[in-house]
Chain A
Amino acid sequence: GAVVSQHPSRVICKSGTSVKIECRSLDFQATTMFWYRQFPKQSLMLMATSNEGSKATYEQGVEKDKFLINHASLTLSTLTVTSAHPEDSSFYICSAREYNGRATEAFFGQGTRLTVV
């Protein structure tokens, strides 16, 4: 199957700093990438949908100025958590759909465990 690489896998940062998470589709072009957040023992919650070359669409309750998403190319999307606080500590996961529609399922990255101290 298609490969989506997410980096870093773990990050610890100080409160008030910013953290950037990268999501790359390695062997396909992804017009659409999704960013999820998952708290312990909860399901994935969609944060935003990112389309290449356009602004991301954020889900209700997600602060777009805090969670900056950039999807500058068909293979790379980034999520920047700005002015991170301990309550932002979570598991962040990206997923990507193939451009040519050969498969409608989305492939997930490995996830990023963010801990804000």
Chain B
Amino acid sequence: QKEVEQNSGPLSVPEGAIASLNCTYSDRGSQSFFWYRQYSGKSPELIMFIYSNGDKEDGRFTAQLNKASQYVSLLIRDSQPSDSATYLCAVKTSGSRLTFGEGTQLTVNP
């Protein structure tokens, strides 16, 4: 079982729709959860992080965490073509290291 799993996609949504990205993790001791966006040929950029169960909203982005289900998601409201990228879920267990999922490729169609 992979430590962090994501649907590889591609996920395609029309402009203005809600894009839902999902991630599960295997280590119940995981403490922090991160969503990164990576454009082709570029390094990842942090979108959001979440530590506590529930929802965390930042602009058009909402991160949702359910530790009991070992599940974290990212919702993107009013999706824009510029949101088209690969979204990486990362989980921090003990120590400093982050473990990344394979990423979900999102395409927002105009």
Residues of A in contact with B (beta carbons under 8 Å apart): 1, 6, 32, 34, 42-44, 46, 49, 91, 93, 95, 97, 104-111, 113
Asked, given contacts A43-B88, A49-B97, A104-B32, whether A1 binds B46 with beta carbons under 8 Å apart, the answer is yes
Asked if B69 lies at the interface with its beta carbon under 8 angstroms from chain A, I say no
Contacts of A43 in B (CB 8 A): 88, 100-103
4 closest A-B pairs by CB: A111-B43, A108-B43, A43-B102, A44-B100
Does B44 interact with chain A (Cβ within 8 Å)?
yes
Tally of contact residues, B, Cβ under 8 A: 20
- Indicate which residue in B41, B42, B44, B92 contacts A44 across the interface (CB closer than 8 Å): B44
Partner of A32, one of B44, B96, B100: B96
With a cutoff of 8 Å between Cβ atoms, the chain B residues found around residue A46 in the complex are 97-99
> Secondary structure at chain A's binding surface: helix, strand, loop or mixed?
strand
Interface string of B65-107 (1 = CB under 8 A from A): 0000000000000000000000010001000111111110000
Q: How far is the CA of A97 from the CA of B34 in the complex (A)?
A: 14
Can you report 12 residue pairs joining A to B where beta carbons are below 8 Å apart?
Answer: A1-B46, A6-B43, A32-B96, A34-B96, A43-B100, A43-B101, A104-B92, A105-B34, A105-B49, A107-B46, A108-B44, A108-B46
